[in-house]
Each structure stands twice: as C-alpha cells, then as structure tokens.
Amino acid sequence: MKKPFEYFRPNEVFKAALPKEWQAYESEVLVLEDASESLSIVLYNDEVNTFDHVIKCLIKYCEHSAIQAEQCAWITHYKGKCQVKTGSFEQLQPKCEALLEQGLSAFIE
C-alpha cells in the first residue's frame, strides 16, 4: 500500500507541463547560502555590567541606535543572551573584541 504522500509527485506534474524537448533535461537548483554572513555576536547576561554601560557599548561598537541597544540590553537581561550583530567573521571580530575589552560577555557564534 502506498503512503499518502506518494500519490502526488509535483515534479512529475510540472515536468509534464514542459515542452517535450525540455522534459529530457532534469536540473537541480542549489541554493547556496553566504556562509560569511551566517555568524553573529551573541551577548550574554552577567551580574556585573550596568544597563547604561551595556547600552553605551552597543551604540559605540555595534552601531546600534539608542532604542535598539536598550532593547538588546533588556532581551539579554531577561532571556540570558541576545544576538546583537550579524556579519562575516572579519567584520565581527574587532567588534566582539571591543565588547570583551569593555567587560561584556560576548562571543561569535
């Protein structure tokens, strides 16, 4: 007995709608993600730094607006961590190092 999902094969339906000379060719489309943009700086909560210090650091080093920095600080406080910046490793490394030098708990993941 066939499983329900085996009755409908969309590739065959779409292939049948193509002109006959095209039906002989099958191609696969690969979607490549830009791996350089898949990294992020994650800020972790600690009991040492004040909200003002965290907000000032996010504004200065991560180019956040004041509102964005405050929201990230609150998310970090309540959830324990927050993704504060995305980009390539080359872009994130100096920003993360600057946050670490300021005493924040930040890591590139």
25-44 mean pLDDT: 68
Residue 25 has pLDDT above 90, yes or no: no
Q: In the predicted model, what is the mean pLDDT of the chain?
A: 81
The answer to whether residue 72 is domain-embedded is yes
The residue ranking higher by pLDDT, 19 or 74, is 74
Structurally, the chain folds into a number of domains equal to: 1
The answer to whether residue 9 is domain-embedded is no
Write out pLDDT tens, residues 55-77.
Answer: 999 999 999 999 999 999 999 99
Residue 3 has pLDDT above 50, yes or no: no
Name the pTM for this structure: 0.67
Residue 77: helix, strand or coil by DSSP?
helix
* Boundaries of domain holding 86: 33-108
The answer to whether residue 12 is domain-embedded is no
The answer to whether residue 15 is domain-embedded is no
| Cα gap 37→33, rounded to integer Å | 8
The answer to whether residue 7 is domain-embedded is no
CATH of the domain at 42: 3.30.1390.10
